[in-house]
Amino acid sequence: MPFNFRLLVTEGDSPALEGVGYELLDRVIRWCREENLYVVLDMHAAPGGQTGDNVDDSWGYPFLFESAASQELTISLWQKLADRYKLEPAVIGYDLLNEPIAPYFDKAQLNPKLEPLYKRIVAKIRRVDPNHVVFMEGAQWGSRFEMFGLPFDDKVAYSFHKYWTEPTQAVIQSYLDFGAKYNVPLWMGESGENHDEWISRFRTMLEQNDVGWCFWPYKKMSPTRCIASIPKSGDWDAVIAFSELPRASFEEIRNSRLPRDTAMKALNNLLEGIKLENCAINEGYLQALGLMTGSR
């Protein structure tokens, strides 16, 4: 369950750990519990930005690792969430930071700061929750583990992400070696965006090596590289065209913005299309994930 910290924290110089996000998380977790599904809480957008790209809704740099205030807020937020869900059986654990430190920043300077921050977060989590698993992703889209040393917690799992590689064991061998060296579990926390044959081969290879997986995302607009495809309305092309316009000045953006009626219609159509009843279920993708047979 990816979440943005802004739903859980107030704005201003002295942010409080309040917001609509707690109720939303409670709702999703309740749904999952009722359906016998497990939840991993995933901080996809951390205070200051942990990635420095669009995936973390930040300001274009992983300021989290250079801001003491952002780090303290991140730590406090994880402690509150852990305290809230410490007795929740539907929650497997906490994925502390999604895809920290994009590869085009100063890796030599930023990567060594990752594990020390994880240690501080976990220390606060363990004050209130000694039971749930903590997932720690490597740097550079979750691809590098070199900054990790001896595991410092007995309920920790290490997570990597893989997209558009060969679906062979060679591409994950370094993670398997890490897991064997330290006797720790591994989780392939994100993959997908590929054709069904690739999905099937990669998923099978992961399972043969006892690596858990999560394929991403659940829904997309139009493409079949997901479980459910959202229909695209004609008005959505206008939204795309606007998003691709030059951004030389605020005045230029203001003068070229979509008519309100067009924008509202496009977004309302999206909300309607997202409903599962209006989506197309991609059975080939489900078969590739091993979730259904050809005969259903």
The type of residue at 189 is G
For residue 248 the two structure tokens come to: 């030389």
Locate tokens 């009626």: which residue? Answer: 261
| pLDDT tens string 207-248 | 999 999 999 999 999 889 999 999 998 889 999 988 888 877
> How would you write the pLDDT of the chain (296 residues) with one tens digit per residue?
999 999 999 998 899 999 999 999 999 999 999 999 999 999 999 999 999 998 999 999 999 999 999 999 999 999 999 999 999 999 999 999 999 999 999 999 999 999 999 999 999 999 999 999 999 999 999 999 999 999 999 999 999 999 999 999 999 999 999 999 999 999 999 999 999 999 999 999 999 999 999 999 999 998 899 999 999 988 899 999 888 888 777 787 778 888 999 999 999 999 999 999 999 999 999 999 999 765 55
To 10 degrees, what angle do helices 236-243 and 260-274 make?
120
Rounded to whole angstroms, the Cα distance separating 226 from 186 reads: 23
Domains of the chain by residue range: 2-218+282-288, 232-278
Q: What is the largest CA-CA distance in the chain?
A: 59
C-beta atoms surrounding 210 within 10 Å:
10
What is the reported pLDDT for 152?
98
What is the reported pLDDT for 294?
54
What is the reported pLDDT for 247?
74
The arrangement of strands across the sheet holding 2-4 comes to 2-4, 39-45, 91-95, 133-137, 156-161, 186-192, 212-216
* CA distances from residue 65 to 16, 50, 99, 110, 113 in whole angstroms, order as listed: 21, 7, 13, 7, 7
3-class secondary structure for 27-90?
HHHHHHHHCCCCEEEEEEECCCCCCCCHHHCCCCCCHHHHCHHHHHHHHHHHHHHHHHHCCCCC
Determine the CATH number of domain 2-218+282-288: 3.20.20.80
